[in-house]
Amino acid sequence: MYAIVSIAGQQFKVAKDQQIFVHRLQGDEGANIEFDNVLLAENEGKFKLGTDLKSAKVSAKIVSHLKGDKVIIFKKKRRKGYKKKNGHRQQFTKIEITGITL
């Protein structure tokens, strides 16, 4: 059984006991959260989508909040003396899918 769910503006294919990294979510570590924006669900070869999924929910637990790898942004225009270096580390939340209800 798996589902495609929209979390923080991105779509993820999730299954029970799977751990994924999503953009930073509100909530403390160990808190339980639910996502009700389920786009597609598969159960034993049968697919459900659209109006069949009005009551579908994906429940998850926040494992930790962390930062991703450093991303370097470097801009340069040759022969003009223009160089600019910038960077950031993206904020992520690691969640574990605890269940999918249809």
Domain ranges of the chain: 2-101
Strand-pair partners of 82: 77
Q: How far is Cα 60 from Cα 14, in angstroms, rounded to an integer? A: 10
DSSP bridge pairs for 83: 76
Region 8-33: mean pLDDT is 95
Predicted confidence at residue 50, as pLDDT, reads 84
What pTM did the predictor assign? 0.83
pLDDT at 89: 97
Q: What is the CA radius of gyration of the chain?
A: 19
Q: In the predicted model, what is the mean pLDDT of residues 40-56?
A: 90
pLDDT of residue 30: 94
Q: What's the longest Cα–Cα distance across the chain? A: 62
pLDDT digits (tens, 9 = 90+) for 84-94: 999 999 999 99
Residues near 45 by beta carbon (within 8 Å), at least 6 away in sequence: none
